[in-house]
Structure 1
């Protein structure tokens, strides 16, 4: 056995939990805490020896999140409403999208945002146009 393999065998019980997909919330929380500690050590140094480990741990955490905490689908109208609320905009503040009645119909779900409107919203708010489309 090579020295490298001998060292891996010796240290594997300590490293394995960092490279094992969490089976439940307790393991997930431990993995997140361990990754946070490693990220504090790595900082912005992408060449740090532990950067690859942190990346693999992040992949495991992301996979767990996607399975156990999937992001809900958001309609274009819901995205627009959230932006308007955040920025204090009223229905009359988006004339480039349409009249106040058109905006009202979009927000109430009676009308969908079309491609032209999505492009206008994308340019105005610097979000991808696809975010406003219900595909």
Structure 2
């Protein structure tokens, strides 16, 4: 047995949980906690000895999230509704889109956002215009 394998086998029970895919929420939470702790140690130092472990944990967590918590595809109108709700805005509070009747038609699906409106909304909310397409 090589010295590397000997060292790995001696410490495997401590290291293995950090290398395995999370099978449930408890495993996931443990990986997230471990990643937070590692990020505190490693920071932005890509040459840190544990930097590759940070990347590995992040990949495992991301894969689990994508498999169990997919981000739904939403259209521009849904994004606009969400932003209005988050900012406590009514239709009258968005004159950059147009008259309240225009906004009502957009939210009701009778009219689509145009490029000018999208640019104005992106500027107003500080988001990329792409979120409205």
For normalisation by structure 2, the TM-score amounts to: 0.80
Whole-Å separation in 2 of the counterparts to 1:86 and 1:66: 25
The Cα shift of 1:64 comes to: 0.3
Paired with 2:92 and 2:107, the residues of 1 have a C-alpha distance of 13
CA 1:26 to 1:87, structure 2 compared with 1: closer, same or farther past 3 Å?
closer
Match of 2:117 in 1: 117
Distance 1:127 1:85 in 2: 15
Q: 1:105 Cα deviation (Å)?
A: 1.3
The equivalent residue for 1:24 is 24
Distance, in Å, in 2 between the alignment partners of 1:10 and 1:123 is: 57
Shift of 1:31: 1.7
How far off its partner does 1:72 sit? 2.0
3-state SS of 1:73 partner? coil
Range that drifts further, 8-17 or 40-49: 40-49
Instruction: State the distance in 2 between where 1:128 and 1:92 align.
Output: 23
Count, aligned residues: 133
Alpha-carbon separation, structure 2, partners of 1:26 and 1:92: 46
Q: Using a 3 Å threshold, how does the CA distance of structure 1 residues 85 and 25 change in structure 2: closer, same or farther?
A: closer
Structure 2 gap ranges (5+)? none
Distance in 2 separating the partners of 1:111 and 1:6: 68
Q: How far is 1:66 from its partner?
A: 0.7
CA RMSD of superposed structures (Å) = 2.3
Structure 1 unaligned regions, length at least 5: none
1:32 deviation in Å?
1.9
Q: Tell me how far apart the structure 1 counterparts of residues 93 and 19 of structure 2 sit (CA, whole Å).
A: 50
Output the CA distance in 2 between the equivalents of 1:98 and 1:2. 73
